[in-house]
Structure 1
């Protein structure tokens, strides 16, 4: 059964690991699909952080759009997939790295991770996507 707008937005706002898919821009290749952290508030834009020159960063810049799919298997099998155009790409701030890290890591691990990631991952960008197409379902208990 498809989720209501409120259910799918609330589900997407939870801290799931997403599968990001984007056209790699090379003929004869399937979409590039990788796990990624993301941030979302109901009614807003989805944002991710990645290296400007990473494979996914380059592919998203070329394609101008991407999709995310998040799921869970307990207590019910539920998923939300969202796809849309990139609306903004900007240099990432340390505060954004703290925000997204705190969404996924225990509080006591955030500072150490941010200190490492900010130095080691090169130039990071935040890519914002406006959700246009949604697909969702709750398939019931497993």
Structure 2
């Protein structure tokens, strides 16, 4: 039987390295956009994601003003956390924004290659305040 995670457990789980799936409402009546994404999070802080300026994801997030993000362990025993909240800022991505996420998800050489490929890309950094949480832990 699954149990809800404590605040500390869910924040620690979200802070681990997972590929998240971001969900954001569409204005045209279609189902929400859901796409995989790399993200940054530290317990008690804001969720941080980067995306291309003017991309569909960027436009929808800006219009909706809030997102949800789901992360999971895909093998038994299953665990997941879904968080939803308002966008607190959308800014032009600084080099350190991209470096932080690249080094979180990739080994050093791969991260450097990724950053070289992204040089000059027009990216935005989106910050979200976690407001509503859903979690489940099947380990016990």
Q: TM-score, normalised by structure 2?
A: 0.94
Q: Match for residue 133 of structure 2? A: 134
SS at match of 1:134: strand
Q: Report the count of equivalent residues.
A: 138
Q: CA deviation at 1:140?
A: 2.8
Matched, 1:21 2:19: no
What does residue range 77-92 of structure 1 map to in structure 2 within 5 Å?
77-92=78-93
What residue number does 1:48 align with? 49
User: Segments of 4+ in structure 1 off by > 4 A?
Assistant: none
Distance 2:76 2:103 in 1: 24
Cα deviations by residue, 1:74-110 (Å, 9 ceiling, x for unpaired): 4520000000000011110111111100000011211
The corresponding residue for 1:38 is 39
Partners of 1:118 and 1:48 lie apart in 2 by: 17
For each residue in 1:43-76, what CA deviation from the matched residue of structure 2 results, as whole angstroms up to 9, or x when unmatched? 0000100012000000000000001000003452
Query: Please, what TM-score do these two structures have when normalized by structure 1?
Result: 0.93
RMSD after superposition: 1.2
